[in-house]
């Protein structure tokens, strides 16, 4: 069998009309150009429906073949077989299998592998890294958002002492420091990875009693104990890397939406975990959980949040959290 082809010698752009035939393990072309080469030295381009097949000689000269059906038959005669991946790419069954397998792998890693791996990595990271990250964040916040606390020092000390008296629900409490700041962003409290718990004057004033403040502090200690912040940093980098692999050169705007949504879920999980920690701490110390729930209600009343749909939110809805706290009583 001989099939027509165009031969390019790799030295000029001239197209030579030739015919290709294979006999005894040798490919021979004849016509405008003549040459023969053992088929083991030739490289054949991958099969694709609408593209011409190319056969490349060791010196970059190549043949371009239009009649793909005839060429497939010729290749089959020589015992050539498409690679596993090419066969999978060319069949819809293979491709649909790949869709299913990809979805399964992505879901499993999102639900189980990523949280576990990031927890491990967060625990492995030296404290020095956390410390320098936290210092950077605190410096930034102090410059932009915070002013020194207006609370009397005695009141600050009293709150710190009161919290120190409480028994944490688990062993291995990380070193922590409670800092007071006056803020431009209203009542707030959060924890930095290196162990600083920052609580704003506005929050202290908003809470009706000290038990409510203890609940907030316990929630933040929960974030520290579970190392949520570092886990989150690791997780969001991993998600960003994966999204880059999937979307490649797609527009950045589209690529960032899934990153954001996927990260939100981890964030909500972390909030629930910290709530559970605080619940356990309150119980261990015999503080009525109604105080903690009350604290959330206070917060809700001031911020008067418009509740976004759950999957668009970094925190579970406050109603859901209050209900969870009260149920745990």
Partner 1 sequence: MTDAAVVHEIPESNSHPSDTPIRFSFSGTGSEYFRIWIVNLLFSILTLGIYSAWAKVRRTRYFYGSTSVAGTSFEYHGNPVAILKGRIIAVLLIIIYNIAFEMSDLIGLLMLLLVMALTPWLIWKSLQFKLYNSSYRGIRFGFRGALKQIYWVYLALPILTMLSAFLLTPFTHQRVKKFQHQESRFGTSHFSFSGSVGSFYLAYLLVFVIWLVGVIAISVTLGGSLFAIITADVMDREAASAAGAAGIVLFLGVLYVWMFLLFPIFATLIQNLIWNHTQLGQHRFLSDMKWTRMAFITITNIIGIICTLGLFLPFAQIRAMKYRVECMALQPNGSLENFIAASQQQVSATGEGVADLLDFDLSL
Site residues for partner 1, window 61-80 (CB under 8 A)?
61-62, 64, 66
Q: How crowded is residue 201: how many other Cβ atoms within 10 Å of its Cβ? A: 20
CB of 249 to partner 1, least distance (A): 7
Is residue 40 within 8 A of residue 32, CB to CB? The reply is no
Residue in 158, 257, 301, 326 binding partner 1, rule: CB under 8 A:
257
Q: Which is nearer to partner 1, 96 or 147 (CB)?
A: 96
- By the rule CB under 8 A, 136 interacts with partner 1: yes
CB of 62 to partner 1, least distance (A): 6
Site residues for partner 1, window 1-20 (CB under 8 A)?
6, 8-15, 17
**CA 133 to mean position of chain CA atoms:** 20
B/e letters for 135-172, b = 16+ CB within 10 Å, e = fewer, are eebbeebeeeebeebebeeeebeebeeebeebebbeee
- By the rule CB under 8 A, 40 interacts with partner 1: no
Assigned token pair, 158: 């009293």
Spatial separation of the C-alpha atoms in residues 308 and 305, rounded to whole Å = 9
Query: Where does this chain touch partner 1 (CB under 8 A) — which range of 90-98, 153-161, 216-224, 290-298?
Result: 90-98
Is residue 292 within 8 A of residue 215, CB to CB? The reply is yes
Rounded to 5°, angle at Cα 199 from 194 and 202 = 160
CB of 232 to partner 1, least distance (A): 15
CB of 105 to partner 1, least distance (A): 6
Binding positions for partner 1, rule: CB under 8 A? 6, 8-15, 17, 45-46, 48-52, 54, 60-62, 64, 66, 85, 88-92, 94-95, 98-99, 101-102, 105-106, 129, 132-133, 136, 241-242, 244-247, 249-254, 257-258
């Amino acid at each position: 069998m001989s099939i027509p082809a165009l031969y390019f010698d790799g030295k000029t752009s001239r197209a030579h009309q030739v015919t290709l035939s294979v006999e005894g393990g040798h490919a021979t072309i004849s016509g405008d150009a003549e040459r023969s080469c053992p088929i083991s030295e030739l490289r054949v381009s991958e099969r694709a429906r609408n593209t011409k097949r190319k056969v490349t000689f060791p010196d970059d000269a190549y043949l371009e073949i239009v009649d793909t059906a005839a060429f497939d038959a010729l290749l089959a005669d020589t015992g050539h077989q498409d690679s596993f991946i090419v066969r999978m790419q060319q069949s819809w069954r293979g491709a649909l299998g790949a869709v299913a397998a990809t979805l399964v792998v992505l879901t499993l890693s999102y639900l189980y592998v990523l949280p576990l791996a990031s927890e491990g990595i967060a625990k492995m990271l030296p404290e020095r890294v956390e410390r320098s990250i936290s210092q950077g964040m605190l410096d930034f916040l102090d410059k932009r958002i915070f002013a020194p606390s207006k609370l009397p020092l005695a009141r600050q000390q009293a709150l710190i002492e009161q919290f120190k008296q409480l028994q944490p629900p688990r062993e291995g409490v990380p070193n922590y420091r409670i800092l007071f700041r006056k803020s431009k962003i209203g009542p707030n409290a959060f924890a930095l990875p290196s162990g600083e718990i920052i609580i704003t004057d506005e929050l202290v004033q908003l809470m009706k009693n000290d038990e409510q403040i203890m609940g907030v502090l316990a929630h933040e200690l929960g974030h520290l104990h579970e190392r949520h912040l570092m886990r989150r940093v690791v997780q969001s980098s991993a998600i960003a890397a994966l999204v880059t692999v999937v979307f490649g050169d797609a527009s950045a705007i589209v690529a960032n939406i899934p990153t954001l949504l996927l990260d939100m879920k981890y964030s909500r999980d972390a909030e629930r975990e910290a709530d559970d920690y605080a619940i356990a701490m309150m119980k261990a110390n015999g503080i009525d959980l109604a105080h903690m729930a009350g604290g959330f209600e206070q917060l809700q009343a001031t911020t008067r949040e418009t509740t976004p749909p759950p999957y668009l939110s970094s925190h579970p809805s406050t109603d859901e959290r209050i209900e969870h706290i009260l149920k745990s009583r």
